[in-house]
C-alpha cells in the first residue's frame, strides 16, 4: 500500500468515526464504498472489514454518549442479542451470494435509504419552524 493510500485511509477512518458517533451509524454505509472504490477491495472483503471496524468505533461512541446519559442499556441488550443472530444469518447469506450481485444489492439498499431520508427530511422541513 502506498504512503498516499495509507494517509487517505487514516483520514477516512477518522471521518468514519466522526460520522458514526454523530449519526449513530455503523460506518459501513460510507466505509464499504470507500474500500471498494478507493482501496480496490471486493464487496465481501469490504463488508467483512467494515464489520470489524464497527466494534471499536461503536465502543468509543457508546462511552461518549453514555457520559451524557444517552444510552438505553436495556434496549441495547435486547437489540444486541437479536442483532448477533441477524448478523450471523446476514453474513451467511452475503457469503452465499456472488460479489457482483451483492454489490448491486448494496447499491439498491443505499439508494432506497437515501430516497427515504430525503423524503422524510423534506416532509419535516416545514414543521420545524
The predicted-structure confidence for 12-57, as pLDDT tens digits, reads as follows 999 988 888 888 777 788 899 999 999 999 999 999 999 998 888 8
pLDDT at 12: 93
Q: Which tens digit of pLDDT belongs to each residue from 48-103? A: 999 998 888 888 889 999 999 999 999 999 999 999 999 999 999 999 999 999 99
Number of C-beta neighbours around residue 105 at 10 A: 14
pLDDT at 127: 65
pLDDT at 129: 52
Give the closest residue to 27 by CA, choosing from 35, 17, 36: 17
Residue with cell 457508546: 62
Its pTM stands at 0.78
pLDDT at 115: 95
* Residues contacting 24, CB < 8 A, separation 6+: 61
The CA–CA distances, whole Å, from 19 to 8, 53, 61, 114 equal 16, 13, 10, 16
What's the structural domain count of the chain? 1
Full domain range(s) for residue 35: 3-125
CA atoms of 26 and 19, how far apart (whole Å): 9
CB 68 within 8 A of CB 31: no
pLDDT at 17: 85
Whether the predicted pLDDT of 8 surpasses 90: yes
Amino acid at each position: 500500500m502506498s504512503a498516499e493510500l495509507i494517509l487517505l485511509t487514516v483520514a477516512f477512518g477518522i471521518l468514519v468515526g466522526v460520522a458514526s458517533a454523530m449519526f449513530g451509524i455503523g460506518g459501513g454505509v460510507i466505509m464499504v464504498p470507500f474500500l471498494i472504490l478507493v482501496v480496490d477491495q471486493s464487496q465481501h472483503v469490504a463488508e467483512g472489514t467494515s464489520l470489524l471496524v464497527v466494534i471499536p468505533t461503536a465502543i468509543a461512541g457508546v462511552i461518549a454518549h453514555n457520559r451524557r446519559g444517552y444510552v438505553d442499556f436495556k434496549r441495547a441488550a435486547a437489540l444486541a442479542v437479536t442483532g448477533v443472530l441477524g448478523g450471523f444469518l446476514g453474513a451467511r447469506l452475503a457469503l452465499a451470494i456472488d460479489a457482483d450481485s451483492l454489490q448491486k444489492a448494496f447499491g439498491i439498499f443505499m439508494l432506497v435509504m437515501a430516497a427515504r431520508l430525503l423524503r422524510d427530511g423534506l416532509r419535516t422541513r416545514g414543521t420545524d419552524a
